[in-house]
Amino acid sequence: MFWNLFAKRYSAKEKVLFRFLRQSKLFEKLTDDELAEFVPFLHLRKYVKNEAIFFRNDPSQALYIIKSGEIMLNLDVQDKFEELIIIKKGESFGDNALLEGARRNYNAICYSEYCDLYVLPQTNILTIFEENIEIKAKILHAFAYYYDQYLSNVFKAYRDTFTFFDLSEAYLLAKRNMSKIQNEDD
C-alpha cells in the first residue's frame, strides 16, 4: 500500500466534523481536503424556541447546517403561517445562499427548545467557489439534483391532489418571475 508522506492529516475532531458535514446532501461528495476549506468559516450559533433564523424575502447571506435541535420551515400566507417541513440534525437549509443575489423563499424558525446551527456565510462560500472550481462543481451539482428532486415531488403532489392549485397559473407565474429577474440582471 502506498502512503503519501506529505498528505494532510486530520485530527479525530476534524474527522468527526467532516462526517457530520457529509450528512448534508450538499457536502456528501466532498473529500476531507475539500471539506477542510469550509471549516475556518463555520460559526456555531445557538437559537431558542420560536427564534427566527431568517424570514422570507431576506437576502440569502448564509447556509445553515443543524448540529442539534429542529428547525421549522414555513411560509407566511396572508395572516397565518403554513408549515412546510420540520428538519433535524445534519440537514442543511438556506441553500439558495449558494446563489449570489438570492432572497429567502421561506421563514426558518427554531422549533425545538434549543438549536445549535453551523452558519456558513455566503461571502466565504463564494470565495471558496472562486478558488476551487471542483468544489463549486460538486456542490452546485448536488444543489441542482436536490432541486430537481424537489420539483419532481411538487409535480407528483399536484398529480395526487389535482384540484389543489392551478398548475398552469403557478408555472406561468414562476416563468414571469424568472423573466423579470433576468431582465433586472441585464
Determine the pLDDT at residue 174: 55
Q: Which residue ranges in the chain fall short of pLDDT 70?
A: 1-7, 161-186
What's the grid cell of residue 11?
A: 485530527
Cα(115)–Cα(70) distance, integer angstroms: 6
Determine the pLDDT at residue 155: 74
Instruction: Give the predicted TM-score (pTM) of the model.
Output: 0.82
Determine the pLDDT at residue 177: 54
Give residue for cell 440534525.
89
Determine the pLDDT at residue 153: 75
Determine the pLDDT at residue 182: 46
Determine the pLDDT at residue 64: 98
**Is the Cβ–Cβ distance between 120 and 26 less than 8 Å?**
no
Cα(87)–Cα(111) distance, integer angstroms: 9
Please name the fold of domain 12-185.
Jelly Rolls (2.60.120)
For 89, 137, 165, the CA distances from 19, given in Å and listed in that order, are: 13, 20, 41
Q: Which sequence spans correspond to the domains of the chain? A: 12-185
Determine the pLDDT at residue 181: 47
DSSP H or E stretch at residue 74: strand 71-77
Determine the pLDDT at residue 104: 96
Cα(174)–Cα(170) distance, integer angstroms: 6
